């Protein structure tokens, strides 16, 4: 689970060193705070707390715990200090001690729903799913349950394979979690996954992913999931519109480096005799002869590697013939096979591609030409 960035309580120091650390703390300059702490002769309780926060943010949890303990020893026994100590202990997998720290924080602020929910995550991260579920369900009865509580109940049900209960729980959570909260995004993403993989209601999955993208437009990995859902639902024109918009971002260099480097996006999934096949579409326009418009990968039954690799390549249409041809690249030999199967642009779709590949896999079509790169 992603580490959540928590705002530490601002504590005002009195010495020159305290003012320096406080300024750096307000600026969020965690590395500089750590450097200052290493050379400081003496730290106040307020400084120790800020240094602990800095170590927590750079994911050095054991050191963070040490400085939170220092703050407590110097008399800064506040809810936020115990709370941050609990977080650091939890990430350090010192679960029993984390529970004690959260309990101390809750003794000071018993109605703090964030503290309560983060305590529940101790049970979850320790693998105590039944205990975590029971705890979060108790929290759910409160007038204002936290977004984490509302999300974690159906999430744990998923781990326990109670998919129907999980789905209804996620839908209920969307009515209570603020739409801009990160847990709302996680909730929508899980609904989309369940509708796609469990219920097979691809239209609902697409609607859910589209909503998530609307609220969180920079979560670019959701676009692939939306495209898969749309194509699975047979909404090819809408899928093409989504792809074109995504392709525009690619041309404007607004996508993450890993997507830009690959130059493709997964747009569909199929199953051939229980083996998964994923179809990727090129984000570059296939304008030149032999340019690849689509790649399709047949995954091994074990699901651990690619068994066969197909491509859809641009060709020179003769007498109004096909503009794209089905090809295959030998995974070990590198031999390039061309099949007597193609499409005009108006006929090309992921379903049509799978239909052609199925003929090959079923042994009903042989290559019309092959070339060995050696």
Structure tokens at 124: 């979850």
| One domain for residues 9 and 81 | yes
> Per-residue pLDDT tens for 27-57?
888 888 888 887 777 889 999 999 999 999 9
Which of residues 8 and 207 earns the better pLDDT score? Answer: 207
On the question of pLDDT at 364 being above 80, the answer is yes
| One domain for residues 254 and 305 | no
Residue 142 included in any domain: no
- Structural domain ending residue among the three candidates 110, 131, 149: 110
Count CA atoms within 13 Å of residue 340 on its CB side: 6
Residue 195 included in any domain: yes
Q: What is the pLDDT of residue 111?
A: 93
Measured between alpha carbons, how far is 164 from 205 in angstroms, rounded to an integer? 15
| One domain for residues 66 and 31 | yes
**Averaged pLDDT, 123-150:** 95
| One domain for residues 274 and 252 | no
200 C-beta neighbours (distance < 10 Å), count: 11
Structure tokens at 207: 């609607």
> Per-residue pLDDT tens for 100-123?
999 999 999 999 999 999 999 999
Task: Report residue 26's pLDDT band, with 50, 70 and 90 as the boundaries.
Answer: confident
- The mean pLDDT of the chain is 91
| One domain for residues 26 and 67 | yes
Q: Which residues pair with 338 in a beta bridge?
A: 327, 369
Residue 6 included in any domain: yes
Residue 142 dihedral angles phi and psi, to the nearest 5°: -75, 155
Percent of the chain with pLDDT over 90: 83
The three state secondary structure string of 96-142 is HHHHHHHHHHHHHCCCCHHHHHHHHHHHHHCCCHHHHHHHHHHHHCC
Give the DSSP per-residue string, 288-307: STT-EEEEEEEEPTTSSSEE
The enclosing domain of 71 has a CATH number of: 1.25.40.10
Residue 136 included in any domain: no
- Structural domain ending residue among the three candidates 262, 290, 310: 262
Domain span at residue 338?
A: 264-371
Q: What is the pLDDT of residue 373?
A: 65
Residue 218 included in any domain: yes
Instruction: Give the residue carrying structure tokens 């579920």.
Output: 133
Task: Report residue 21's pLDDT band, with 50, 70 and 90 as the boundaries.
Answer: confident
**Averaged pLDDT, 200-206:** 98
For the entire predicted model, the pTM comes to 0.84
Measured between alpha carbons, how far is 30 from 48 in angstroms, rounded to an integer? 13
**Given its phi and psi angles, is residue 265 left (phi above 0), alpha (psi -120 to 50 degrees) or beta?**
beta
On the question of pLDDT at 8 being above 70, the answer is no
| One domain for residues 332 and 294 | yes
Residue 166 included in any domain: no
Residue 123 included in any domain: no
| One domain for residues 302 and 351 | yes
Residue 134 included in any domain: no
Structure tokens at 7: 């705002």
**Averaged pLDDT, 331-352:** 91
| One domain for residues 257 and 318 | no
| One domain for residues 254 and 279 | no
> Per-residue pLDDT tens for 297-326?
999 999 999 999 999 999 988 777 899 999
- Contact status, residue 285 vs residue 269, Cβ threshold 8 Å: no
Report, in this order, helix, strand and coil percent for the chain, each rounded to 5: 55, 15, 30
- Structural domain ending residue among the three candidates 227, 244, 262: 262
**Residues 333-352: b if buried by 16+ CB within 10 A, e if exposed:** eeebbbbebbbeeeebbbeb
């Amino acid at each position: 689970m992603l580490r959540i960035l928590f705002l530490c309580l601002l504590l005002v120091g009195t010495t020159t060193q305290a003012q320096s650390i406080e300024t750096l703390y307000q600026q969020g300059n965690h590395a500089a705070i750590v450097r200052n702490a290493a050379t400081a002769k003496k730290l106040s309780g307020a400084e120790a707390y800020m240094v602990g926060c800095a170590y927590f943010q750079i994911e050095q949890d054991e050191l963070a715990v040490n400085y939170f303990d220092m703050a407590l020893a110097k008399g800064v026994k506040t809810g936020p200090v115990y709370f941050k100590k609990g977080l650091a202990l939890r990430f350090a997998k010192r679960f029993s001690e984390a529970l004690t720290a959260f309990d101390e924080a809750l003794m000071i602020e018993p109605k703090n729903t964030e503290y309560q929910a983060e305590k529940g995550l101790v049970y979850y991260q320790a693998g105590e799913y039944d205990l975590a579920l029971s705890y979060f369900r108790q929290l759910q009865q409160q007038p204002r349950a936290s977004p984490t509580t509302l999300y974690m109940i159906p999430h744990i049900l998923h781990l326990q394979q109670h998919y129907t209960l999980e789905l209804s729980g996620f839908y209920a959570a969307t009515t209570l979690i603020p739409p801009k909260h990160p847990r709302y995004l996680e909730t929508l993403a899980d609904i989309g996954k369940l509708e796609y993989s469990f219920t097979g209601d691809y239209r609902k999955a697409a609607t859910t992913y589209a909503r998530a993208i609307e609220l969180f437009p920079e979560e670019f990995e959701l676009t692939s999931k939306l495209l898969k859902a749309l194509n699975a639902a047979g909404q090819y024109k809408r899928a093409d519109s989504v792809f074109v918009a995504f392709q525009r971002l690619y041309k404007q260099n607004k996508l993450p480096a890993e997507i830009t480097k690959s130059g493709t996006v997964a747009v569909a999934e199929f199953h051939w005799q229980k083996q998964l096949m994923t179809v990727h579409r090129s984000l570059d326009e296939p304008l030149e002869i032999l340019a690849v418009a689509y790649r399709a990968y047949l995954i091994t039954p074990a699901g651990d590697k690619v068994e066969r690799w197909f491509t859809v390549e641009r060709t020179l249409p003769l007498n109004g013939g096909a503009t794209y041809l089905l090809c295959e690249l030998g995974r070990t030999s590198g031999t390039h096979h061309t099949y007597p199967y193609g499409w005009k642009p108006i006929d090309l779709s992921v379903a049509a591609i799978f239909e052609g590949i199925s003929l090959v896999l079923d042994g009903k079509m042989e290559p019309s030409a092959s070339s060995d790169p050696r």
